[in-house]
Amino acid sequence: MGVRYTNIYQDGTTLPSPAAPAQFNVANPIPAGLIEEVGFRWSGTTGAGQPSTATFSELITGLRMTLNGDQWLNLQIQGASVLNADCSRMVGMVMDMGGRVVEDPNPAQLDCTIWIPCGINVPQNSRFELDLSTLASANAITALGRFEVWIKYGKSTNATIVGNQTSFPLAANAQTMVSVKIPTFKGATVAGIAIQGQTVADNLSQIIVKPLGDFAYSATYLRGISGANQNGYMFAQSATSQTDLQYADAVEGYYFCPLYNLSVVDGSVVLLITSAVAETYTFTPILNLPTGGSGERTPVQTSQVATGSKGAILSRAEDI
């Protein structure tokens, strides 16, 4: 099968509002095929003011998606602010995992799509479910507001799984050991871990990534080995340019730790972290597994008795 783009869902209500933060739940059947990428698109006319100070993606704080009941994406953002004039953590995390945020910097027109790599082969009669969270926007989308979910069918070298995050409170100026829980998918390897501080500031003093060695990295060093310093992030900022995207080599309070497809045997990755201030950090594992792999392994009871009316009635009648 060649490349095919399919719009699997659309509505005019799953949009941020100035009234309050919002949460949306949408679901729909989807065609069979190998899902190369999933795109979440918002569009409309912004009129008198933009929904956010810079990139629209700043408003998206949660994307949790399941395919046929199996969760493959749980992307949660902390520290987001509608007043942030720089690159969003959503842009940083999506680009670090191989996706992209496509956005028109024109302040009068909203057109923003978050593309996230997937690589999962879904059969016929499949269904997706999406839980989406947003901040309260600075201004409303005044006309033609629309939310869409797109799927790019094609080829993929591997499936990408964004696992559940681990949260841990760190004391100020004290090295803390954090054990990041890794989902137990058969054949999965860990591509990296996205780290977020509670506040929009670079408070991470140093980190020792035990699978990579026993030496400490600074925040700048970590961004160097993750590729952020070399390749950067692209985001919309209409105050700077209404035609061109802007570049950033860092997102304050956000860090990506590459693990080079680490094979985990004990279900966790150990990090030693020192923070300049006391705050809660979150750690989101990004996994790779073979395309078409099985779902997450869960505990299975090894001793059970089959039940049913056929045997139960007979047993009750004959048991004296």
Does the structure show a pLDDT above 80 at 47? no
Mean per-residue pLDDT of the chain: 91
Confidence of residue 294 (pLDDT cuts 50, 70, 90): very low
Instruction: Please write the tens of the pLDDT for every residue from 149-185.
Output: 999 999 998 999 999 999 999 999 999 999 999 988 8
* Residues 268, 280: Cα–Cα separation, whole Å: 19
Cα angle at 144 between 142 and 149, to 5 degrees?
Answer: 120
Confidence of residue 265 (pLDDT cuts 50, 70, 90): confident
> Residue 115: what pLDDT?
97
Give the predicted TM-score (pTM) of the model: 0.89
> Residue 186: what pLDDT?
84
Distances (CA, A) of 48 to 108, 143, 147: 8, 11, 20
Q: Contact at 8 Å (CB) between 144 and 43? A: yes
Percent of the chain with pLDDT over 90: 82
Instruction: Please write the tens of the pLDDT for every residue from 188-230.
Output: 999 999 999 999 999 999 999 999 999 999 999 999 999 998 8
